[in-house]
Chain A
Amino acid sequence: MNLQVAARLFFVASFFIATEAMAQDAEVKIVIHDHKFEPAEVTVPAGKKVKLVIENQDATAEEFESYELNREKVVPANGRITVFVGPLKPGRYPFFGDFHKDSAKGVLIAQ
């Protein structure tokens, strides 16, 4: 019986891996400038893994963060980072800069 459970788990896992691999990644670039995201509204395809490239043009570090996307990553001063998200269901996914919450706000729209 344990073997059966293991086999089923393996099947489910390989299914997920296969479907994730089949969908091609989309890529989106966001710039941080004066502690603001540009563009502040980004549209990405739903149901696909998305590669977010975030470039910080400020001289201070920022932290890209989103509760809805469950992501968090420091963007060094004048640095560039990559964050993978999704595949997302259609909807709005707000994100923000944790080090400058008042100004650094944006939203990812999956459709």
Chain B
Amino acid sequence: MAGIAVLVFREVLEAALIVSVVFAATRGVPSRTRWVGAGILAGVLGAVGVALSAGLIADAAAGMGPELFNATVLFAAVAMIAWHAIWMATHGREMAMQMQTLGAEVSVGQRPLAALLIVVALAVLREGSEVVLFLFAQAAGGSGWVDVAGGMALGIAGGCATGVALYFGLLRIPIRHFFTVTNWLMLLLAAGMASQAARFLVQADVLPSLGPMVWDSSRVLSDRSILGQTLHALVGYDARPAGIQVLFYIVTGALIAVGMKLWGRPTKGATGKGAPRAA
């Protein structure tokens, strides 16, 4: 059971961390639980679908179906995060001010919640499909259902608990910095996803690696450690990245940052710190 729990935990952890960041970034939206919940549900259904069609995907695109599929899913999530981050850069400051002055988590208007629903769904789908395949394999391989169900429950509970812990950790950030922090977290999340997508495309021989391993920091912080994995999910840490991964990481991060700067000018009247209490 322990082995099953550990694998399920590792997959659930990555998705749970992403969901936590998204949940934090939607602070103040009354309907966010429904949106994020719908994203998780869609992700779980998608994961089962992907797991059931694993054979088909594996044979698609001359055997490179899984890489192209994963890269597409990752790039789609990157695009959604970019859209949200740029939108938030425009409106986040006003929102933080409203929340500060009114002292409550007020409804602060529309946000591209659909974009975040997709980010959540895709994260759950990617990690979840591996869990489903693994559990199929375990069940078919003669593990008792108690072991499978127990391991699954423990793994999911552990992963979700870590996600909840991250969420409450983020809530301790003072409100006037809150959306700046979540927005930068989202930017790093997207950069990390782009780097992972690049790795898949190198694995499929679609992109050149630009150096298969530009550094090896596995002795300092291993990919296998919980911290390494957490940082992998959150900011795209990779102990042995290919050159093109680093390139994708930097370019994606820079593009989103530039987008935030270009379109993210504070609107008139919202001057940030030291602004008057009431309008």
Interface residues of B in 1-55 (CB under 8 A from A): 3, 7, 54-55
Q: How far is the CA of A13 from the CA of B207 in the complex (A)?
A: 11
Q: How far is the CA of A20 from the CA of B242 in the complex (A)?
A: 13
- Taking a contact as CB atoms under 8 Å apart, the answer to whether A16 and B211 are in contact is yes
Q: How far is the CA of A12 from the CA of B54 in the complex (A)?
A: 38
Query: Which listed residue (B58, B134, B212) contacts A87, Cβ 8 A?
Result: B212
Q: How far is the CA of A49 from the CA of B205 in the complex (A)?
A: 9
Interface residues of B in 205-222 (CB under 8 A from A): 205, 208-213, 218, 222
Interface residues of A in 53-106 (CB under 8 A from B): 59-63, 67-68, 70-71, 73-77, 79-89, 98-102
* Chain B residues with CB below 8 A from A67, complex form: 218, 222-224, 239-240
* Chain B residues with CB below 8 A from A3, complex form: none
Q: How far is the CA of A87 from the CA of B203 in the complex (A)?
A: 12
Nearest residue (CB) in B for A78 is B55
- Taking a contact as CB atoms under 8 Å apart, the answer to whether A81 and B63 are in contact is yes
- Taking a contact as CB atoms under 8 Å apart, the answer to whether A70 and B211 are in contact is no
- Taking a contact as CB atoms under 8 Å apart, the answer to whether B243 and A16 are in contact is yes
- Taking a contact as CB atoms under 8 Å apart, the answer to whether A70 and B133 are in contact is no
Q: How far is the CB of B32 from chain A (nearest CB, A)?
A: 32
* Chain B residues with CB below 8 A from A60, complex form: 136-137, 140-141
Does B199 lie at the interface of the complex (its beta carbon under 8 Å from any beta carbon of A)?
yes
Nearest residue (CB) in A for B138 is A99
Query: Which listed residue (B7, B141, B202, B240) contacts A98, Cβ 8 A?
Result: B7
- Taking a contact as CB atoms under 8 Å apart, the answer to whether A16 and B210 are in contact is yes
Q: How far is the CB of A110 from chain B (nearest CB, A)?
A: 11
Q: How far is the CB of B219 from chain A (nearest CB, A)?
A: 12
Nearest residue (CB) in A for B222 is A67
Q: How far is the CA of A101 from the CA of B136 in the complex (A)?
A: 16
- Taking a contact as CB atoms under 8 Å apart, the answer to whether A74 and B3 are in contact is no
Q: How far is the CB of A21 from chain B (nearest CB, A)?
A: 8
- Taking a contact as CB atoms under 8 Å apart, the answer to whether A62 and B137 are in contact is yes
Q: How far is the CA of A73 from the CA of B205 in the complex (A)?
A: 14
- Taking a contact as CB atoms under 8 Å apart, the answer to whether A81 and B58 are in contact is yes
* A70 touching B63 in the complex, CB below 8 Å, given contacts A79-B55, A88-B212: no
Interface residues of B in 124-139 (CB under 8 A from A): 130, 133-134, 136-138
Query: Which listed residue (A16, A59, A73) contacts B208, Cβ 8 A?
Result: A16
Q: How far is the CA of A1 from the CA of B224 in the complex (A)?
A: 41
Q: How far is the CB of A14 from chain B (nearest CB, A)?
A: 10
- Taking a contact as CB atoms under 8 Å apart, the answer to whether B208 and A20 are in contact is yes
Choose among B202, B209, B243 the residue with the greatest number of A CB atoms under 10 Å from its CB.
Answer: B209
Choose among A71, A83, A87, A102 the residue with the greatest number of B CB atoms under 10 Å from its CB.
Answer: A83
Q: How far is the CA of A12 from the CA of B224 in the complex (A)?
A: 32
Residues of B participating in the A interface, judged by any CB pair closer than 8 Å: 3, 7, 54-55, 58-59, 63-64, 66-67, 130, 133-134, 136-138, 140-141, 199, 202-205, 208-213, 218, 222-224, 238-243
21 chain-A/chain-B pairs, Cβ below 8 angstroms? A51-B205, A60-B136, A60-B137, A63-B133, A63-B134, A67-B222, A67-B224, A70-B240, A71-B203, A73-B66, A73-B203, A74-B66, A76-B54, A77-B137, A81-B58, A84-B202, A84-B204, A84-B205, A88-B212, A99-B133, A102-B3
Please list the 8 inter-chain residue pairs (A to B) with the smallest Cβ-Cβ separation, ordered nearest first.
Answer: A60-B137, A84-B205, A76-B55, A82-B63, A16-B210, A70-B240, A76-B54, A17-B208
